[in-house]
């Protein structure tokens, strides 16, 4: 039974789906979200979810689509190739994937595999990341860039990588690293390939503006850069210097900032060439953004350019400077991470309950004989509020409620009076909400009303584990019901997670103008109601933390086949409770022993029977091996 028919076109518009999806997701005619890895291929996301649930897998989980990763690698490389053809640029383009954005095996392997034909490489920022990258099969020309501060072990590992035939480039992030590299290269007898990171004075835009500029954490200044050239000349090793590296931060929202930075980087490249260096690669770093809200603006959750425009502007700018400075056009390297990975995964969270001021008990408790005057004042407001006076009356009610609470604290208002007063206030809220819902413009003083009245949809997930950037830096992600998109959403909601942290909530949602305080959702019915959290494939998997010991969530790797079919290539179960507890320094044996000892004592005291002990230990053991998230059964 579908109440209130509403078209899927309206749903697409309401949730801005075509604006942020980049063509990877769409709503079908039955009102269901689909993933569309290429024009002829699509699958209903809820079908995959239903199958996993049927198999007995617990939610929440992440669906990963390797074809989307491969598609993004292709789009990035082909955008650059197209720009190179168009401008008749003499150099090449080669990307590297900075694995810090997502080191999950499926992600790195899918990118390495799809990138092989483009000689797309990898970037490591630590010893552990380098160890992981060295084990990947890569095109012999593909770069393996080593960024980040380095000790001798890091440098040695990088040098051995060259002996394995890999195109490893060690980036100097601070001046003293040069001597370390020279020393280890001598000791190992391996000729290094060196890059040097330059502190551009240009800055990014958006939330990572501080990554660039003179105060940046990484990089050399102009004088240090020239000293590197001199020192390498002395060693007769200037040919080892192959790359200039720059990076002005992630999610650059404004294409003009990118052009300014690329111009400065290319001028620097030309300057190094003039100083005698024979560089080959110009690395422009990351920063290629993702339009999370689909607004195509310089808002922090958006970008005012497309992938094609990015590639064209970079190639054009490098060429322009090279022509003016008469230097050979370099191989352009970009370290795009966010843009390659954001789209590939969808976090699926079930709504497990709904609460809110309009859903709590709505009866108004009866008045007592000596009802306090302040409660009577609220009665008056409720009785006399009309569409003509509601603004004024609403403000009166807000004041009265405040007074009610103050009087309660002082002992002048009884608990039953407080209960009646609050119920009256909520009834007033509901009345005002009805009056406002017909109006086009909500008066400023009532703007918060929507948020106050909103339902809280309780979702079975941890924000801190699965969407840390929403908590830490207010990053926005598109959140869409997986089905019922042919039905008008009748509720306005905010989302809360299941951690015991009041910060574990989502109260900001994407909008084409600014941000929305509430998300339109459907009234959950008898069927499970699932939300998809989209574009969360970059950074979230690694930055997530184990608040309340909610662990890594389960994930399915899904390949889409023709005819709406799909294949679940792999299902990886999320972390078990035991793993989470052990990661805090406890041991499973110790836990079980403690419970057994306590149970034995309890039996002696007569609190527990032998049979109950067996059952209890069974339940305890089962939870240690269980998923950390809620696993509700029917009441």
Ligand X SMILES: *Cc1c(COP(=O)(O)O)cnc(C)c1O
Residues that bind ligand X (CB under 6 A): 98, 100-101, 147, 247, 250-251, 285-288, 335-339
Cβ atoms of 605 and 325 closer than 8 Å = no
**DSSP letter string over 492-558?**
EEEEE-SSS-TT-EE--EE-SSSEESSEEEPPP-SS--EEEE-S--SSHHHH---GGG--PPEEEEE
Closest CB to ligand X among residues 340, 348: 340
CB of 111 to ligand X, least distance (A): 12
**DSSP letter string over 7-23?**
-HHHHHHHTTHHHHSTT
CB of 166 to ligand X, least distance (A): 19
Contacts of 43 by beta carbon, 8 Å cutoff, 6+ apart? 34, 35, 558, 560, 564, 565, 566
Give the pairing type, strands 530-533 and 554-560: unpaired
CB of 393 to ligand X, least distance (A): 51
CB of 284 to ligand X, least distance (A): 9
- Please count the other Cβ atoms lying within 10 Å of the Cβ belonging to residue 588: 15
**DSSP letter string over 63-117?**
EE-HHHHHHHHHHHHHHHHHHHHHHT-SS-EEEEEEGGG---HHHHHHHHHHHGG
379: closest CA among 362, 393, 358?
Answer: 393
Helix%, strand%, coil% for the chain, nearest 5: 45, 15, 40
The SS3 assignment for 121 reads: strand
**DSSP letter string over 496-509?**
E-SSS-TT-EE--E
Give CA–CA dist 572/460, Å, rounded.
18
Closest CB to ligand X among residues 518, 540: 540
CB of 97 to ligand X, least distance (A): 9
Give CA–CA dist 340/516, Å, rounded.
27
Closest CB to ligand X among residues 79, 628: 79
Closest CB to ligand X among residues 507, 541: 541
CB of 471 to ligand X, least distance (A): 19
Closest CB to ligand X among residues 42, 336: 336
Closest CB to ligand X among residues 217, 451: 217
Residue nearest to ligand X (CB): 286
Closest CB to ligand X among residues 469, 486: 469
Closest CB to ligand X among residues 219, 350: 219
Closest CB to ligand X among residues 98, 478: 98
* Helix (H) or strand (E) segment spanning residue 157: helix 152-163
CB of 58 to ligand X, least distance (A): 31
Give CA–CA dist 463/505, Å, rounded.
7
CB of 220 to ligand X, least distance (A): 14
CB of 251 to ligand X, least distance (A): 6
CB of 204 to ligand X, least distance (A): 9
Closest CB to ligand X among residues 307, 454: 307
Contacts of 400 by beta carbon, 8 Å cutoff, 6+ apart? 374, 377, 378, 381, 421, 425
């Amino acid at each position: 039974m579908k109440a209130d028919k509403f078209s899927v076109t309206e749903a697409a518009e309401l949730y801005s789906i075509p604006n942020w999806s980049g063509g990877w997701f769409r709503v079908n005619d039955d009102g269901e979200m689909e993933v569309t890895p290429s024009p002829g291929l699509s699958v209903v996301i809820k079908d995959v979810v239903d199958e996993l649930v049927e198999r007995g897998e617990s939610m929440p989980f992440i669906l990963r689509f390797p074809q989307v990763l491969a598609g993004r690698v292709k789009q990035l490389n082909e955008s650059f190739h197209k720009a190179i053809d168009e401008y008749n640029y003499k150099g090449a383009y080669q990307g590297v994937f900075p694995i810090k954005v997502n080191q999950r095996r499926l992600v790195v392997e899918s990118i390495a595999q799809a990138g092989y034909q483009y000689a797309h490489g990898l970037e490591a920022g630590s010893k552990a990341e380098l160890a992981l990258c060295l084990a990947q099969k890569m095109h012999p020309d593909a770069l393996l860039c080593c960024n980040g501060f380095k000790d001798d072990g890091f440098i040695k590992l990088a040098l051995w990588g060259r002996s394995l035939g890999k195109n490893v480039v060690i980036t100097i992030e601070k001046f003293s690293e040069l001597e370390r590299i020279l020393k280890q290269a001598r000791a190992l007898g391996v000729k290094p390939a060196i890059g040097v990171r330059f502190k551009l004075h240009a800055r990014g835009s958006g939330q990572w503006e501080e990554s660039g500029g003179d105060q940046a954490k990484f990089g050399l200044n102009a004088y240090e850069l020239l000293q590197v050239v001199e020192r390498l000349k002395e060693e007769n090793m200037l040919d080892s210097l192959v790359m200039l590296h720059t990076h002005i931060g992630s999610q650059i929202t404004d294409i003009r900032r990118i052009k300014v930075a690329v111009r400065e980087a290319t001028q620097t490249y030309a300057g190094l060439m003039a100083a005698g260096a024979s560089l080959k690669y110009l690395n422009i770093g990351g920063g290629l953004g993702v339009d999370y809200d689909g607004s195509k603006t310089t808002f922090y959750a958006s970008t005012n350019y497309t992938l094609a425009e990015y590639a064209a502007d970079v190639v054009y700018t490098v060429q322009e400077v090279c022509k003016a400075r008469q230097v050979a056009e370099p191989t352009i390297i970009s370290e795009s991470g966010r843009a390659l990975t954001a789209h590939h995964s969808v976090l699926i969270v079930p709504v497990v309950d709904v609460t809110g001021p309009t859903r709590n008990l709505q009866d108004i408790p009866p008045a007592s004989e000596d009802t306090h005057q302040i409660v009577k004042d609220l009665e008056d407001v409720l009785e006399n509020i009309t569409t003509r006076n509601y603004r004024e009356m609403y403000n009166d009610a807000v004041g009265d409620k405040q007074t009610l609470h103050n009087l309660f604290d002082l002992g002048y208002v009884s608990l039953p009076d407080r209960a009646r007063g609050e119920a009256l206030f909520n009834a007033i809220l509901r009345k005002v909400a009805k009056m406002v819902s017909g109006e086009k413009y909500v008066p400023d003083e009532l703007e918060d009303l929507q948020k106050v009245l909103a339902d809280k949809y309780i979702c079975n997930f941890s924000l801190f584990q699965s969407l840390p950037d929403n908590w830490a830096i207010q990053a926005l992600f598109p959140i869409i019901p997986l089905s019922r998109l042919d039905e008008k959403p009748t509720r306005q909601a905010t989302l809360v997670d299941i951690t015991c942290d009041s910060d574990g909530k989502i109260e900001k949602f994407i909008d084409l103008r600014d941000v929305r305080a509430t998300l339109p959702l459907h009234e959950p019915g008898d069927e499970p109601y699932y939300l998809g959290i989209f574009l969360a494939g970059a950074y979230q998997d690694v930055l997530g933390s184990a608040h309340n010991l909610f662990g890594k969530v389960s994930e399915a790797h899904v390949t889409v086949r023709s005819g709406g079919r799909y294949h679940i290539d792999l299902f990886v179960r999320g972390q078990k409770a035991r793993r989470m507890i052990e990661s805090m320094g406890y041991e499973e044996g110790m836990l079980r022993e403690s419970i057994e000892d306590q149970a034995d004592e309890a039996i002696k005291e007569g609190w527990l029977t032998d049979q109950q002990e067996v059952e209890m230990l069974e339940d305890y053991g089962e939870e240690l091996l269980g998923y950390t998230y809620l696993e509700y059964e029917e009441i």
